[in-house]
Amino acid sequence: MRLLEYLVADEAGATAIEYGLIAAIISVALLVGYGAFTGALMNVFDTITTTINTAGA
C-alpha cells in the first residue's frame, strides 16, 4: 500500500512528460517557421533570377 501511495505522490514522471511536451511544441514551431522561411527565401531568389534574366535579354 505504501508503494502505491509513493507512486501516486511522485511527480517526477509528470515533470518529465511536461518537458517532453514543451520540447515537442518547440520542435513543431521551428519546423513550421523553417518551412515559411524557406518559401519566402525561394521567392526572393526567384525574383532575383527573373530580374537578372530580364536585364540580360
- The answer to whether position 32 is within a domain reads yes
**pTM for this prediction:** 0.56
26-50 pLDDT, tens digit per residue, is: 999 999 999 889 999 999 999 999 9
Which tens digits make up the pLDDT trace of 1-25?
787 777 677 777 778 888 999 999 9
Cell numbers found for residue 4:
502505491
Q: Would residue 15 count as lying in a domain?
A: no
C-alpha cell at 18: 511536461
Q: Which range of residues forms the domain containing residue 40?
A: 27-52
SS3 call for 23: helix
Q: What would the grid cell of residue 28 be?
A: 513543431
CB atoms within 10 A of CB 15: 10
CA-wise closest residue to 19 among 11, 10, 30: 11
Secondary structure of residue 1 in the 3-state scheme: coil
Q: Is residue 42 part of a domain?
A: yes
Number of domains in the chain: 1
pLDDT at residue 54 in the model: 92
